[in-house]
Structure 1
Amino acid sequence: MPIVNIQLIAGRSQEQLKALVADVTAAVVKDTGAPAEHVHVILDEMQKNRYSVGGVLKSDEK
């Protein structure tokens, strides 16, 4: 049972997220041979004020 955990900043549309999980599932099936119904994809969305790069919150970027 492959489990894929994807962390990303919130703000993508439902259609984008659906496409992402479909593409990731297809890649795992192709590369591992696991059946699609056994592939678990977890999306962990973070708000921009809860994620920083180089000490700067993404919500403070211009």
Structure 2
Amino acid sequence: MPFIDVTMIEGRTPAQKDAFIKAMTEAAVTTLGAPRETVRVVLREVPGEHWAVGGVPKKPLVPG
């Protein structure tokens, strides 16, 4: 039973998340031969101020 756990910055539309879940499921079915009904996908959305790249938050904590 593949379990796909994805963490990403919040802000995508429900349609984008739905398409992503379907694509991740299809990837597991195609590449691993997993039965579709056994594939689990979890999306974890993180606020931009909690996500940093190179020490810089994607959304500043204090405007300015």
Alignment TM class, shorter chain as reference: over 0.9
Name the TM-score, length of structure 2 as normaliser: 0.90
Equivalent runs, 1:41-60 vs 2, <5 Å: 41-60=41-60
Name the TM-score, length of structure 1 as normaliser: 0.92
Give the distance between the partners of 1:55 and 1:27, measured in 2 at CA: 32
Q: CA RMSD in A?
A: 0.6
Structure 1 counterpart SS, 2:4? strand
Q: Which aligned segments of 4 or more residues in structure 1 are displaced greater than 4 angstroms?
A: none
* Structure 2: gaps of 5 or more residues: none
Structure 2 counterpart SS, 1:8? strand
Equivalent runs, 1:14-53 vs 2, <5 Å: 14-53=14-53
Q: Which amino acid counterpart does residue 56 of structure 2 have in structure 1?
A: V
Find the counterpart in structure 2 of residue 6 from structure 1: 6
Q: Which amino acid counterpart does residue 8 of structure 2 have in structure 1?
A: L
Larger Rg: 2
Per-residue CA deviation, residues 27-57 of structure 1 (Å, 9 max, x unaligned), is: 1000111111100001011000111111111
Structure 1 counterpart SS, 2:59? helix
Structure 2 counterpart SS, 1:17? helix
Larger proportion of helix: 1
